[in-house]
Amino acid sequence: MNLVLFDLDNTLLAGDSDFEWAQFLIRKGVLDREVQEAKNVQFYEQYKDGTLDIFEFLDFQLAPLARHPRAQLDAWHREFLATAIRPMITPAARALVQQHLATGELVAVVTATNAFVTGPIVREFGIPHLVATIPAQEGGAFTGKPRGMPAFKAGKIERVDSWLESLGLHFGSFTRSWFYSDSHNDLPLMARVTDPVAVDPDDRLRAHAQGAGWPVISLR
């Protein structure tokens, strides 16, 4: 059996669902444009630079979930998926996912973006497993805080290890393992698999991939 892991934002998606979710809430008037848009852009630039404080970002990104009932959040997300996300899914991305699913491999998305935002997107691709940052809940309502280790940088390895353990597996259980990503933030997990693939990579990942002889592909 083989293992296939996909990053989501700017990898399977031609854009960033985390960033776009906040922009969507700003357009809906749920978040204050003047204050929140500047912060959203600032955090996104920090992510690209590799300087993001993930816990500071999650305080910003998860807070709106705690202010609204789940039914309203779910309704907004359905609109978000239709208007913002589906246009970011390319035929090439769908085809790559289907290629791996068709061979019976164990396939998952591994993303720092929280599971509320990413769960419906992963289901849109037909991918059966999601390893993501978990927004904490109490009594079915979000608290505005993460639960456990965020799936970010080396945290992705910890979260994937825990997920595989829950299935009675580990990295050594697989003949081959792939991880597709666009970001230098994912280098720790890319180094753990047998077949790392850089997808429309940022400059730092592209340089590393070329130096290491990793495949570089585009899904755009």
Q: Catalytic positions, please?
A: 7, 9
Sign for the pseudo-dihedral over CA of 181, 198, 10, 75: negative
How far apart (Å, rounded) are the C-alpha atoms in residues 196 and 180? Answer: 6
Four-point Cα dihedral 45, 49, 50, 51, nearest 10:
-70
How far apart (Å, rounded) are the C-alpha atoms in residues 188 and 17? Answer: 22
Crossing angle for the helix pair 33-49 and 17-27, to the nearest 10 degrees: 170
**CB neighbours of 88 closer than 8 A, spacing ≥ 6?**
13, 14, 15, 17, 20
Find out whether 150 and 53 touch, Cβ atoms under 8 Å. no
Find out whether 196 and 216 touch, Cβ atoms under 8 Å. no
- Which tokens go with 88? 């970011």
Edge-to-edge strand list for the sheet holding 177-181: 141-147, 129-138, 106-114, 3-6, 177-181, 195-199, 216-217
